[in-house]
Each structure stands twice: as structure tokens, then as C-alpha cells.
Structure 1
């Protein structure tokens, strides 16, 4: 399989960017990663369709592939699917970020009595982003067990990337309802809505228009593969929300080449300035990425 590396690099080079900042990337402990990939391979009730994963290389090869694309910073986004696994995922992700300088230190939590303790400790230590997955985890964001966690994160300002939309398959826990209730109680939370909240993208965009710390990530949502979940009415809203739209890919669980999502973003017709902000400046501001980057990906002094 030949990767269109040069076409990927040409995308951000044409825009005059130092590279890409991808807020929606997954690196998981190998046993859990294999289990996740089996779910995709089986096209079961959480996936609902054939989804051939393109990027199954070993971890080190996937890191090098992202570097070759010009991805200067990327998340790892573990997500707990049941009680008792968050700490294991968080320890692995912490070690990964310590070894891979491009990685945003990512963590997760789950509605369980221990969550306020380990979330608080991670925030104190400087974790950069959390991920939670309502569809896979089977919980509402305003679960009472999470109430102290949200208060802590609202005060800290640490971003939480949430899979809340009903794509690819909805459950009783997906949709904008519990996020709307949560934000009414914690309006200063820094939230990143995964996949533009597809297929309820318009509703999530309206939440972002109401709450100034709510962001939207583009992963999968604008790609032709995910097309049946894409609501074109969201496009003018994305123009208005330009400072809070963030590029994300969902690498490695992509059924197509990495560059195709960049092409789909450009095809929205929102202009080069919009693309520059989405693919670099907005996330750089959110995560404090202000160092110079050389063309080979190294951080300049």
C-alpha cells in the first residue's frame, strides 16, 4: 500500500503552516487496541457497516508515518469502556507521551467512585487532554458519579474530547441531550465534540455557539465515507465558529488514506484562512503549542 505522503505534506505547505496538529488520534495498549480493531472488523452493533482499517502497522511505524505526513502534535485518546480500566489506560498513555515528544498527554475517566481522585491527580501533574466515549462507555455525561469530576475540570480548563454524537450508530446515551444538561450546569467547561457531533452536528454547533469553550473536531465527519451522517446545514455554522473548529483524523482507524480527509475539508469551500486556523492555529492556541518546528518535525530551540 503506497501512502500519498507528498500530497499530504503539500496540503499544509501550500497553506504556509509548519505542519498539522491532529487532535483526534488513537494509540492504545496493544491488547485493547486489538480488541477495538476486532469490533471494527466484525462490523457489529457499535459500527453498523463494513469498516476496513487501513493503518494496522506496529506502534513505532504508525508514529513514523504521522511524522512523515507532517503531523507535529497529536493526541492518543484512550477511552474507558467499563469501570476499573481507566487507570491502566492512563498509565500506558502517560508512558507513551513521555517517549513520543509529539504526543499530547491524553487520559480518560469513567463514572466510578475513584474518578475524582485519579482525574485530580492527572490534572495536577499536567495532563493535556481527556477523552470519554458515551457510545462505547454507555453513560450520560451528567451521571451523578461524574459531578465532582466536571467541577474539577471546569476550574482547571483541561480539554475533554467527547464522542457524544450518534454516529456511526446511536444508542440511548448518544446525542446532544446530556451535553446540553452538563453545560447548563458547568458553562465554563472546555469541551471538544468529536466528529462534529455527527449526525447531530447542527445541534452540537449550536451548543458551541452558546458556550464559548466548546470546540468541534472534524474527524471522519466530512469524509465521503461518513457521508450519510453529514448535515450540510452545519457548513455555514462552521464558518461562524472558525476559532473553535479543530482538525482531527481518527487515525489509525481510517478506512481510507489520511490525505482524503484534508481534501474533504478543503472541499467545504470555507477558504484558506479557515483551513489554516482549523489545521493548526486553533489547536495550537488551545494546547499552548508555541514553539518553532523545523521541517523534519524537530522542535527548534
Structure 2
């Protein structure tokens, strides 16, 4: 990807990488990719997120270059060049009185980008039940919940009405609840186990395979029918350096293969999109498993033909 002197993309994406990405899914016989974990946000928010990564803040903990730092239209064009059929605009609040504003922005983004799964979010606050109800009524297809950045407990009583509605509606929630890349006050499998005990039908998609607590979140995926995992950043060289996936758990990836969805964390990844895909294929778990992860599992969940 090339950049101008101001630091924003001057051209969409390297055509060679795009061709390699398209070749990968085409050779598997897929019609394209579905990426459930991508970030599009209001520009002031995205700029602050990038600044935080640039500073290697405590929730990042290491040098983290943003590979696809670019204007919004360029980032959308990049996903189209890769052959991504559907993606998300994962927004998340870090303080009260922010989530409803983000939901309005995300609804408008989805309205102007038909390939984007209409995304919404929430925060433990008095008005959460109301705006989550409106988001569901307005056609939200996926929620984002960021326990680490929001610094809140998923079992906060102010979220009871939120979880109840989500359980009833079965709108999936991509939830960052593992303790990577750095632990938060409320991260880890224990609060999620408590949440699922109370709401066992919750449709949760555990982000980042729950790293570094991989096996505990695999346990929950095996125990609860609507718990899934996304591959975001897992299995890549970047993550394997510090939080490697346990080799002894490799077989379990086959056992819950129908519950694993591809996620990239695009554009905020410190490596290429192609590498995120190759990290999946090099697990050597078979083409059927890879096809499910890169497309078919998400297509079934979100009703994408």
C-alpha cells in the first residue's frame, strides 16, 4: 500500500496482494470472503484509535504499525479488491453517552455500503436497553462489545436488559473478552461463563479466539450452542510470538470448526491481510475446514447467499 506525504493512502492497495488474496479463496472454490471483524468508525474516533496504537499504549503493549492506514473510501475499496463479500463496522464506546451516537453513525455507514453488516454497540448505562431495542428494530445484524477498552463488567446489572433482548433476537455479539493483547479489569473467561450461565442462549462470537485464554473459551464454545469464535489475529506470526495457540488444542479446532469465523481486525493490523489468511490455511486442517472459516460459517450465520 502506498502513502502520500500526509500519511493517508494515495492509491488503494497493492494489486499484487489483492490478486494473491483473490487467488487464495478462488482456489478453495469460494465465491469470496466474509470478514466479521473489521473496523470503520467516525474519523475523529478512528484517528484517536490509531494514535493510541502509535503510542503503544498499555492496552496494546508493543509496537503496532497500522498496515492499512488510509481514508475511509480507500479502506472500503481495499476490501472490495480482496473480494470480501461482507464485513462489519465494529464501533465501541470507551465512556458513557457515546454508544448511541456511534450506532447512528454505523447505521448511516451500512446504509451507504451494502456489503457492510449493519453494526451497533452498547455500554452499561441507564439508556442502554432503549437504544439497543431501537438498534435491533432498525435492523442491526451484529453488535460489538469491547470489555477491555470499555473497562466494564459484562455482568453489570445495567446490561441485563441488553443481554435479554440480544438472547431473544439472536443478533450476534462480537465480544472482546479475552485478556489479550493486554489484560483488562474485567477480561477473561470467568465473567463470560457467569454471563452464559444466566443467558445460555446468547449468540456470542468471542473475538481473537479468546487469546490468550484459548482453551477456556473453546470450552465455552463446546458447552453453549450459540457461542462462536473469530480468528482475528490468532495464528499469525505477530501473535504466535507472545501468545501462541497451544498445539495440543489443534484437534479442538476441528471439533468446533463450524463455530469459527474469519476476522482480520482490518485496517488495524501490523501485517498484511494476505498473512491473516495464510495463518488460517497453514494450520493444515483441511480445505473443508478453511472454507467454513473463511466464508461458509459466517454465510450461514448471517444469511448471506
TM-score class, shorter-chain normalisation, is over 0.9
| Aligned match of 1:172 | 185
- Residue 44 of structure 1 and its aligned partner are, at CA, apart by 1.2
2:230 touches 2:261 (CA, 8 Å); kept in 1? yes
Determine if the alignment matches structure 1 residue 52 to structure 2 residue 62: no
| Aligned match of 1:43 | 56
1:229 to 238, 243, 255: 243
Determine if the alignment matches structure 1 residue 249 to structure 2 residue 241: no
2:34 touches 2:294 (CA, 8 Å); kept in 1? yes
2:112 to 65, 79, 99: 99
Deviations 1:81-129 (A, max 9, x none): 1100001111110000000011000010000000000001111121000
1:181 to 178, 185, 194: 194
Counterpart CA distance in 2 for 1:162 and 1:234 is: 22
Deviations 1:127-176 (A, max 9, x none): 00000111100011111110111111101101000000111001221111
Q: How does 1:220-299 map to 2 (within 5 A)?
A: 220-227=233-240, 228-232=242-246, 233-290=248-305
Counterpart CA distance in 1 for 2:79 and 2:184 is: 32
| Aligned match of 1:133 | 146
SS at match of 2:229: strand
Counterpart CA distance in 1 for 2:108 and 2:262 is: 25
| Aligned match of 1:73 | 86
Counterpart CA distance in 1 for 2:20 and 2:117 is: 25
List runs of 5+ in structure 2 lacking aligned partners: 2-13
Q: How does 1:147-226 map to 2 (within 5 A)?
A: 147-226=160-239
SS at match of 1:4: helix
- Residue 200 of structure 1 and its aligned partner are, at CA, apart by 0.3
Runs of 4+ more than 4 Å apart:
none
Aligned length, in residue pairs: 290
Q: How does 1:11-22 map to 2 (within 5 A)?
A: 11-22=24-35
Counterpart CA distance in 1 for 2:278 and 2:234 is: 13
RMSD after superposition: 0.8
Deviates more, 1:221-230 or 1:73-82: 221-230
Counterpart CA distance in 1 for 2:250 and 2:279 is: 12
- Residue 18 of structure 1 and its aligned partner are, at CA, apart by 0.4
Counterpart CA distance in 2 for 1:17 and 1:260 is: 18
Query: How does the TM-score come out when normalised to structure 1?
Result: 0.95
2:203 touches 2:226 (CA, 8 Å); kept in 1? yes
- Residue 235 of structure 1 and its aligned partner are, at CA, apart by 2.0
| Aligned match of 1:142 | 155
List runs of 5+ in structure 1 lacking aligned partners: 291-301
